[in-house]
Amino acid sequence: MKTVYEFTVKDRMGNEVSLEQYRGKVLLIVNTATGCGFTPHYEPLEEMYRELKAKGFEILDFPCNQFANQAPGSADEIHQFCTLKFGTEFPQFAKVDVNGETAEPLFAFLASEKPFVGFGKGLKNAALNKFADLNNKKYGEKAYIKWNFTKFLIDREGSVIARFEPTTDMKLVRDAVAAALQGRDKQ
């Protein structure tokens, strides 16, 4: 069975990083953007990180500019924005594509393990779904991620146990992370 530990990614400086170094930790892997309506998710993400890091929790942040060009800055500009505005301390990696022929293989794997099942009910979610479909149409079957701030929860063995769309209440995400840290899968 394949795990996230088999992937190597680039940090924001362009250095290769094996995800093997996170073996034994609970991970939340997130594609982010600095100019998105969901950018305020950085705040509860950072709160969760500070509260749970000592228990073996890590957030891996991958900026992505594939959704309405909402992360146009350089790696340094994005990092400065996140640290100054939200005080983020969790690891931020190189900007990646999460869809299409140039998609980061890690995200293709994550999405194959936990495919998109919808944004949820309500007018806002229906509107986001329509907008996301238009944006992702060019990627066809390789539209793995529907929008910014999609989160994948990884257990201590490197398996993908949950996917949270950006419309998911962050309290539910936090509860699932806490359950994974205690060795219980909760989605």
Positions marked active-site: 36
Token readout for 151 is 């989160």
d(CA 151, CA 14): 23
* Rounded (10°) angle between helices 75-86 and 42-52: 70
